[in-house]
Amino acid sequence: MINLEQIRILEQKVNNAVSVIARLKEENTALRETLEKSQAKMLELETLINSFKSDQDEIEISILDVLDKLDKLEDESLEPRDAAVSNKQKSTSSLKKEPASPPVKKETTIILEDDEEESEFSSEAGNAPAAAKTHDELDIF
Instruction: Convert the pLDDT of each residue in 84-122 to its tens digit.
Output: 666 666 655 555 555 556 665 566 655 555 544 444 444
Q: What is the pLDDT of residues 43-89, one digit of tens each?
A: 999 999 999 999 999 999 999 999 999 999 988 888 766 666 666 66
pLDDT of residue 102: 60
What is the value of pTM for the model shown? Answer: 0.41
Q: In angstroms, what CA-CA distances link 69 with 55, 58, 65?
A: 21, 17, 6
The partner residues of 106 in beta bridges, in order of sequence, read 123
Positive or negative CA dihedral for 9, 11, 14, 19? negative
